[in-house]
Amino acid sequence: MTPISKVDFGQSEQAPLGGSVALVTGGNRGIGRAIALRLAAMGSAVAICGRDEKALRTVEQELKAMNVAVHAQVADVTSPADVASLVDKTEATLGPISILVNNAGIGVFGPTHEKSEADWDRTLNTNLKSVFLMSKAVAPSMIHQGRGDIINISSLAGKNAFAGGGIYCASKWGVQGLTACMAEDLREYGIRVAVICPGSVATEFSGRGPKDPAKALTPDDVAHAVAMLVTQGKQSFLSEVHVRPLRK
């Protein structure tokens, strides 16, 4: 039997992502913050964006304390102009983006017939349109590099229906479909596109109500899944990861 060898990332075990540049949307709090810190701990330069400048600067300082190159920028990822500026400034500061984590998202819940058109537009633009805009913006550079990882943070709500989830589920089901098609469009260029579907996560995210921490994931659980995806073997392709709390 041939012995299993270590995967060669071209970097040390202590910094498997050394030389990489990661951009995490919504990286100023919750799941996005945990992902940014995990990627930095793995040696990647990290760019984060968000709309809350105070929170953004706090995470920026946390990242800088880890001795990695950092870019933090206030940006609205539903705006094509903001997206273009974010990608251009990230690459000018840190270099070509090799990892994109589309994490920015909001939750709007309640009976669909009681929601407004503004609720629909705000949720679909933030949770779905932003994934399209960000991915479209980084794809040309990744194609030029011949490699890259695009990871979209969806939800198990993108797989399951529940009362009061109409608009939110529609946005996350859209992320599932967009991810699957992008994966087929980009795999021939050496670019892996994957989706992570977490269950209930204990964060300040505007969800359906308070979460029992003993029966919820932590942001670090989702960050662990991202770390797994970006360090998989060069010939492999994990397309969809479900992360569930251990206890119901």
- The yes-or-no answer on residue 168 being catalytic is yes
How far is residue 102's CA from residue 154's CA, in Å, rounded to a whole number? 9
- H-type helices in 45-165, by residue range? 53-64, 80-94, 117-124, 130-145
Helix axes 219-230, 30-41, angle to 10 degrees: 40
Instruction: Please give the model's pTM, rounded to 2 decimal places.
Output: 0.91
Beta bridge partners of 123: none
How far is residue 4's CA from residue 15's CA, in Å, rounded to a whole number? 21
21-243: CATH architecture = 3-Layer(aba) Sandwich (3.40)
| Residue-level pLDDT, tens digit, the chain, 248 residues | 333 333 333 445 678 999 999 999 999 999 999 999 999 999 999 999 999 999 999 999 999 999 999 999 999 999 999 999 999 999 999 999 999 999 999 999 999 999 999 999 999 999 999 999 999 999 999 999 999 999 999 999 999 999 999 999 999 999 999 999 999 999 999 999 999 999 988 766 545 555 677 788 999 999 999 999 999 998 999 999 999 999 88
Residue 20: closest CA among 72, 84, 77, 90: 90
Contact 237, 192 (CB under 8 A): yes
The secondary element (H helix, E strand) that includes residue 86 is helix 80-94
Selecting among 168, 194, 199, 226, the annotated active-site residue is 168
